[in-house]
Amino acid sequence: MAQLWQGRFSKAVDSRVNDFNSSIRFDQRMARQDITGSMAHAAMLGAQGIISQKDADEILSGLEGILNDLESGALAIDPEAEDIHTFVEQTLTARIGDAGKRLHTGRSRNDQVALDIRLTLRDMGRSLQQQLAELVETLCKKAAENTASVMPGYTHLQRAQPVTMGHQLMAYVWMLLRDLDRFEDALARMNSQCPLGSGALAGTTYPLDRQRTAAALGFDGPCPNSLDGVSDRDFCIELAGAISICMMHLSRLSEEIILWSSWEFKFIELDDAFTTGSSIMPQKKNPDVTELIRGKTGRVYGDLNTLLVMMKGLPLAYNKDMQEDKEAIFDAVDTLALCLRTVTPMLDTMRTLPENMRAAAAKGFINATDCADYLTKKGVPFRDAYKLTGSLVAHCIANGTTLEALPMETFKSFSPVFDEGVYEAIDLIRCTEGRASEGGPCAASVTKQIKQAGEQLAAWKEKHHAEV
């Protein structure tokens, strides 16, 4: 397929250069968006009298036919084409003749690709949001099933204070809801300015109606500066940043799933359909999905770094370096989509093991803070109560027992302040339910959080008329 920029050159491009320069392998996925942008441009050219209405109508009909044929499989994209823009325009010209050659009037591939990638990422971003909403709903459902499932909460991976599985899962819900907001912000900025009409870098002498094309394509308005319109990829970087943060949250959740599914913890049981076995050890049940999410998180970080390093030293306006934007951002999008598509049903089918969680909670002195608080409420200064409780824990460790199992005489031997109320104060269920402060692990608090998260999701769905 011939290049669009023939005329200046006296010989054909070396095949090796053509292969090196080509982007059709990865930008062909923007075919629909390229055609959509071209149709808006052609309609505007006709309305402005820049080309005849007859030519505009022929172009619109031709582009619609190409799109239909691509989607039906009747037309295949030429892998030898330089890029998707070249393929569409030359296919159009082959079908409708000279009218097709007028499509590119008042436009450059620079503003064309800047538009196409925005349109593509806008669609991809909404799809990611829908997948993320499904994950949040799944986690909320699991949290609702486990509001009374007491387990150790950890700091430094050491048992610290009692929480519930529901409380633990809701922590990730709030992280992911912030991710949903980050996507919303990134997409809103991406959608605020339409680059079409910026031309190569300095606009055009044609009387374009940029407000019309921006509105037709669903943008808030045109880019105010033509140089900026074709020169930046901050919208790719911002989306890649949001994806990276979301992947980080998924990676942290995955690490917990890996720990919880091990025999050392055994707080959960993953469904066989979302685990793998060993080629040599028949007893193994490996949490491969979550391990891959951890690994793929590093991959997405690499995509973000690619975009940042690619852009950091580029002078205005367009430079060929920017062709690398699509592979990086598409890979980041695809990776997150793949992870979300897999982790959501894995968590939905995950079985929690409350008895094992309760047993682990009983062994780690995670009610020690509650014992100290009990003493404080009895009038003992907190620092004295802290030291006294620490001495009790040391005694339990030395004697192979727990605070709950200590007889009253032992408590009294450490302080006469102790009475039978201490047993209620250090009961693990009561410890959890007693933490009724806003955002705490008690069942009422977790239930409230689930309701709040549901309301936030419902508001997002209503805004976007999403069926999730």
Catalytic residues: 156, 278
Tell me the one-letter amino acid at 245. Answer: I
Contact criterion met (CB below 8 Å) for 245 and 182: yes
DSSP 14: P
CA angle 331–337–339, rounded 5-degree value: 100
Tell me the one-letter amino acid at 423. Answer: Y
Contacts of 184 by beta carbon, 8 Å cutoff, 6+ apart: 129, 460
Contact criterion met (CB below 8 Å) for 421 and 373: no
* Cis, peptide link before residue 317, omega less than 30° from 0: yes
SS3 readout for 66-87: HHHHHHHCCCCCCCCCCCHHHH
Rounded CA gap, 252 and 275, in Å?
18
Query: CA–CA distance from 91 to each of 70, 74, 86, 426 (Å)?
Result: 11, 13, 8, 76
Alpha carbon 109 to its chain centroid, in Å, reads 30
The count of C-alpha atoms lying within 13 angstroms of the C-alpha of 289, restricted to the half-sphere facing its C-beta, is 24
Q: Is the dihedral of CA 194, 197, 202, 205 positive or negative?
A: negative
Backbone angles phi, psi at 263, to 5 degrees: -65, -20
Rounded CA gap, 283 and 288, in Å?
15
The total number of residues shown for the chain amounts to 468
Q: If DSSP codes are grouped into helix, strand and coil, which group holds residue 212?
A: helix
Segment 394-402 long-range contacts (CB within 8 Å, at least 24 positions apart): 396/365, 402/362, 402/363, 402/365
Contact criterion met (CB below 8 Å) for 131 and 410: no
Rounded CA gap, 125 and 364, in Å?
44
